[in-house]
């Protein structure tokens, strides 16, 4: 599924890249993800951003946290299953030390998901975010992307608190299992 829009509208990943730039989010760390690959490629292609791949999501959080302490705002890009590794680092570092850690999470585990592990983590992700008091918003429509991303970044910085933006398959097209031919 292509992320380009036939009517000339910008794609979700182009909008997010532009809003990150407008809010001076200069650092993007990530663990590779097929759904997020258009955004990752767009960030790599723009010299405004420092982007790099991490081995684990906890590492990405540590890098973005350290960057914030050095005066640079960053974002962590991951998929739902990657979030499952983060509650400890969020509850023991980002939340108590008031780090405006931005997370963009491609949602797996719904809408025809083929991986049971993804479905299990999807059921626990929002309750985990809520229990830590982490503001989170799910994007489902292209017309809400710029507003929600902009306001989420602004609130995270103003309140010195982590925030998560969850990208639903209605927006991204999600990931589907390739059917085997007989």
How many domains, the chain? 1
The pLDDT, as a whole number, for residue 7 is: 47
The pLDDT, as a whole number, for residue 108 is: 74
**Model confidence at 143, in pLDDT bands (50, 70, 90)?**
very high
Copy the structure tokens of residue 27: 């650092």
10-66 pLDDT per residue, tens: 999 999 999 999 999 999 999 999 899 999 999 999 999 999 999 999 999 999 999
Report d(CA 12, CA 151) in Å as an integer.
Answer: 16
CATH number at 17 reads: 3.40.50.970
In a domain, 180, yes or no: no
In a domain, 181, yes or no: no
- The answer to whether 23 and 154 have CB atoms below 8 angstroms apart is yes
114-125 pLDDT per residue, tens: 666 676 677 788
In a domain, 1, yes or no: no
Q: Percent of the chain at pLDDT above 90?
A: 74
The yes-or-no verdict on residue 176 having pLDDT over 70 is no
Report d(CA 96, CA 90) in Å as an integer.
Answer: 8
- The answer to whether 97 and 125 have CB atoms below 8 angstroms apart is no
In a domain, 179, yes or no: no
The pLDDT, as a whole number, for residue 138 is: 96
Domain hosting 65: range is 12-114+124-172
Report d(CA 178, CA 58) in Å as an integer.
Answer: 30
The pLDDT, as a whole number, for residue 47 is: 98
Report d(CA 67, CA 86) in Å as an integer.
Answer: 18
């Amino acid at each position: 599924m292509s992320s380009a829009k036939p009517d000339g509208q910008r794609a979700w990943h182009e909008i997010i890249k532009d809003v990150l730039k407008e809010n001076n989010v200069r650092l993007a760390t990530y663990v590779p993800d097929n759904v997020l690959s258009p955004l990752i490629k767009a960030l790599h292609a723009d010299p405004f951003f420092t982007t790099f791949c991490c081995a684990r999501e906890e590492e990405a959080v540590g890098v973005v946290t350290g960057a914030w302490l050095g005066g640079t705002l960053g974002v962590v890009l991951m998929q739902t299953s990657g979030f499952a590794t983060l509650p400890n680092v969020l509850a023991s570092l980002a939340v108590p030390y008031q780090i405006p850690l931005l997370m963009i999470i491609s949602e797996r585990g719904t809408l025809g998901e083929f991986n049971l592990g993804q479905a299990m983590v999807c059921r626990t992700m929002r309750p985990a975010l809520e229990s830590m008091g982490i503001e989170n918003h799910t994007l489902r429509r292209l017309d809400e992307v710029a507003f929600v991303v902009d306001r989420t970044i602004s609130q995270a910085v103003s309140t010195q608190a982590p925030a998560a933006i969850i990208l639903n398959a209605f927006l991204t097209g999600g990931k589907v299992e390739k059917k085997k031919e007989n």
